[in-house]
Amino acid sequence: MTGAAIEANGLGTTYGNKRGWALRDCSFRLPAGRICALVGPNGAGKSTLLALAAGLLRPAEGTLRVLGSTDPAEVRHRIAYVSQDKPLYPRLTVADTLWAGLELNPGTWDRATADRIAGPLPQDAKVRTLSGGQRTRLALALALAKRPELLLLDEPMADLDPLVRHRLMGALMAEAAEHATTIVMSSHILTELEGVCDYLLLVDGGRIRLGGESDDLVTAHALITGRPRDLAPHTVIESRTTGRQLTALIRRQGQVDPDTWDVSEPSLEELLLAHLRSPQAPPLLTPSADAGKAVATA
Ligand SMILES: Nc1ncnc2c1ncn2[C@@H]1O[C@H](COP(=O)(O)OP(=O)(O)OP(=O)(O)O)[C@@H](O)[C@H]1O
């Protein structure tokens, strides 16, 4: 089995306020080299999980291993993290910011990548004068030029126009493929993630509800339509009956009878939405994402 980039076991943390757990009983494994979509509703715990993986927060319970280290702060030089608010020094120019990137990452700084990603930005412009999208471009240039083994991106593309988003996503994927970088990218734009991510973590209420290879998670489910009848032994994630027609998204337990049901494969978006609408649906982790199983087979 490939080494894990991130492995969490019973991970939980709070912000020390009365609101309770920001993440709780969170267990999963992310194999190295994957491009992982981190999805979930507002307040689910996505940013918290990324900040824990970046070593900026500490677990209150459970364990977290990042790039083989139980203290992610120790391996921070091998990680790049772009938080939602993309903190940069407002008084520095674009050129100064890139120079600081070079100074802070001696030995690993990839100037060609920095120039490629930040290229269209005016070098002498102060960061505070850049638009939100331009700041994102600069933050991504810093993160990628560091040549990280693990790239943690918190809603990186939210403020980019569609054309720039498409181009930067392409550049990101090309870099990741060339250097076998593991990427974890949170986003609410499911369609954007569908084509680029081969791995998925669905966080909801501080826990992982779906985890594993996107293709395997999709094929473990089916969209079925037919006359209402018992759906056992399959697990029903969501169903609705209209007149004499039952439509359901099920988790397959064996073959679905094609003589009884019209069967199709759900899109990733349909799969995620059905799970978000059905908080009672049992979690599913594929073997590679199951921290418990990985320990048992290691
Ligand atoms: N700095 C903070 N102080 C106190 N509570 C916080 C802080 N940041 C997050 N929380 C709480 O932790 C929980 C998880 O928040 P988090 O930001 O990780 O969710 P998220 O999935 O990233 O949400 P969104 O999609 O809205 O960005 C929420 O209940 C939130 O209110």
Tell me the CA–centroid distance for residue 188 and ligand 1, in Å.
Answer: 15
| Ligand 1 site, residue 40, Cβ cutoff 6 A | yes
Q: Which atom of ligand 1 is found nearest the CA of 203?
A: 21
Whole-angstrom distance, CA of residue 43 vs CA of residue 253:
32
Encode pLDDT of 26-36 as tens digits. 999 999 999 99
How close is the Cα of 163 to the center of ligand 1, in Å? 29
Q: Which atom of ligand 1 is nearest to the CA of 41?
A: 25
Regarding the beta carbon of 170 and ligand 1, being less than 6 Å apart is answered: no
Would you state the pLDDT for residue 164? 83
- Ligand 1 and 202: CB distance under 6 A: no
Q: Is 12 in the pocket of ligand 1 (CB under 6 A)?
A: no
295 pLDDT more than 60: no
What token pair was written down for 225?
């339509």
Residues with Cβ within 8 Å of 209's Cβ and at least 6 positions away in sequence, in order, are 202, 203, 275, 281, 283, 284
Buried b (16+ CB within 10 A) or exposed e, 186-222: bbeebebbbeebebbbbbbebbbbbbbbbeebbebbb
Question: What is the per-residue pLDDT for 2?
Answer: 63
Does residue 1 carry a pLDDT above 60?
Answer: no
Distance 232 CA to ligand 1 centre (A): 38
pLDDT tens, position by position, 214-253:
999 999 999 999 998 888 899 999 999 888 899 999 999 9
pTM (two decimals): 0.92
Tell me which of 2 and 179 has the higher pLDDT. Answer: 179
Please, are residues 54 and 79 in contact by the beta-carbon 8 Å criterion? yes
Structure tokens at 244: 């004499």
Q: Where in the chain is the domain with CATH 3.40.50.300?
A: 4-214
* Nearest ligand 1 atom to alpha carbon 20: 29
- Nearest alpha carbon to residue 29 among 55, 3, 50: 3
Rounded CA-CA distance 72/188 in Å is 26
Fold for 4-214, please state it.
Rossmann fold (3.40.50)
Give CA–CA dist 192/173, Å, rounded: 13
Please write the tens of the pLDDT for every residue from 100-126: 999 999 889 999 999 989 988 999 999
ipTM of the complex: 0.98
